[in-house]
Structure 1
């Protein structure tokens, strides 16, 4: 997504990145981007002990409010051309709809991850997953 942001910036777009504090890219390499960090409160122990589906739910629960607040603030001046978000952040669709912002979804994971996500409903139906994504 950083590569896409660079391409769009070189085409004349201003880029604002909203990212969790956890695993944030080193944006000192990209001084031409504006960065807003979301306080996610995720600890190293949670990352290492939490299974994937629960981790995604934890991210959503902790990030939805701060993300909505930042996006609402940024959209107040009508300068957002588009919201580009990772497919994992599925909750951004409702926010984009509410703020009347176009949204593009990128799936930044591997093909293997995509196939695993596609299989989740079947795995859940069979009782292999204890919580919903």
Structure 2
């Protein structure tokens, strides 16, 4: 058990099954290799920690100026477009994540690195730099999604995105 204390990995998944499950699979591999695992999860769509007894969970709560409730948990949040939703996730959890990571790294156990979902973007990059640990990024998408995300800046610069007006798309 003493060996595991020296080798700890902190993981920060996006709170959706298609992102959380692959990260947990990776966590199981790391755990099997002797690492202890701490998963920082959001208060939005959080998993039941009792299903993962080998991992330590830390829950962070959405930070929203002047709002008591997490706006992402409201029923009308389901109608939100994906880009807006991801932006609200990033903005609302950035400070709580940074504070939680500082507390984890400042604790008694030494952390080797942070593994975060690619969608968190610079939020996790900056936080890892601040506390002085390495960061690895996990992407759960296939190569097609990767290519689409890589093309997004070009499409935005050429003003193809975001789509304006009532443009209709037809499938041929």
Question: Fold match, TM over 0.5?
Answer: yes
Q: 1:89 matched to which residue of 2?
A: 120
Q: 1:114 matched to which residue of 2?
A: 146
Instruction: Please state how far the C-alpha of 1:129 moved relative to its aligned partner.
Output: 1.8
Instruction: Please say which of residues 77-86 and 111-120 is displaced more in the overlay.
Output: 111-120
Aligned counterparts of 2:145 and 2:47: Cα–Cα separation in 1? 21
TM-score by length of 2: 0.69
| Unpaired segments ≥5 residues, structure 1 | none
Aligned counterparts of 1:49 and 1:116: Cα–Cα separation in 2? 23
Aligned counterparts of 1:38 and 1:126: Cα–Cα separation in 2? 38
**Secondary structure class of the residue paired with 1:68:** helix
Q: Deviations over 1:33-63 (max 9, x none)?
A: 01111223212421x2221221111001100
Instruction: Please state how far the C-alpha of 1:122 moved relative to its aligned partner.
Output: 2.0
Write the mapping of 1:4-19 to structure 2, written as runs, cut at 5 A: 4-19=26-41
| Unpaired segments ≥5 residues, structure 2 | 1-22, 63-69, 164-172
Instruction: Please say which of residues 65-74 and 25-34 is displaced more in the overlay.
Output: 25-34
Provide the aligned C-alpha RMSD in A. Answer: 1.7
**Secondary structure class of the residue paired with 1:81:** strand
Larger radius of gyration: 2
Instruction: Please state how far the C-alpha of 1:71 moved relative to its aligned partner.
Output: 0.3
TM-score by length of 1: 0.87
Equivalent of 1:57 in 70, 76, 87: 87
Number of equivalenced pairs = 129
Aligned counterparts of 1:45 and 1:111: Cα–Cα separation in 2? 32
